């Protein structure tokens, strides 16, 4: 997923699924930027995709939002994404953690959504 993603995701009222991907990059690009943009584009075309937020500052944090756990699990198994995951482990990431979570409450400055 990607730094090219937009700002705050517009998500519906909970519950929905959040996939929190925290990573440390290796040195150099090695095709990362192109893959990252492509994965964001591809994710946004998947059934149940709700939005994505991403920032990198030392650590990278990408949170993608999905209708439910099944939608998130299906995205993990998309063929082109599987190839990116394999290359991620081999080349792009020194370390990462993926956390799958159920969002139960959400609120902003103007109150609960």
* Binding residues vs a copy of itself (CB under 8 A): 3, 6-9, 11, 14, 18, 20, 22-24, 53-61, 63, 69, 89, 93, 95-109, 113
Least Å from the CB of residue 102 to a copy of itself: 5
Whole-angstrom CA distances from 79 to 5, 18, 37, 39, 95 are: 21, 21, 16, 11, 22
Least Å from the CB of residue 16 to a copy of itself: 9
Least Å from the CB of residue 22 to a copy of itself: 5
Residue placing its CB nearer to a copy of itself in the complex, 41 or 91: 91
Whole-angstrom CA distances from 12 to 1, 23, 61, 68 are: 21, 27, 21, 12
Going by DSSP bridges, is the β-strand pair 16-25/59-66 parallel, antiparallel, or unpaired? antiparallel
């Amino acid at each position: 997923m990607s730094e090219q993603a937009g700002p705050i995701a517009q998500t519906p009222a909970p519950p929905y699924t959040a996939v929190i991907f925290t990573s440390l990059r290796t040195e150099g690009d090695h095709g990362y930027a192109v893959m990252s943009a492509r994965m964001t584009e591809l994710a946004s075309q998947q059934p149940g995709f709700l939005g994505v937020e991403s920032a990198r500052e030392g650590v990278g944090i990408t949170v993608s939002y999905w209708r439910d756990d099944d939608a998130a699990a299906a995205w993990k198994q998309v063929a082109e994404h599987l190839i990116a995951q394999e290359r991620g482990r081999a080349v792009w990431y020194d370390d990462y953690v993926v956390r799958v979570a159920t969002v139960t409450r959400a609120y902003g400055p103007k109150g609960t959504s």
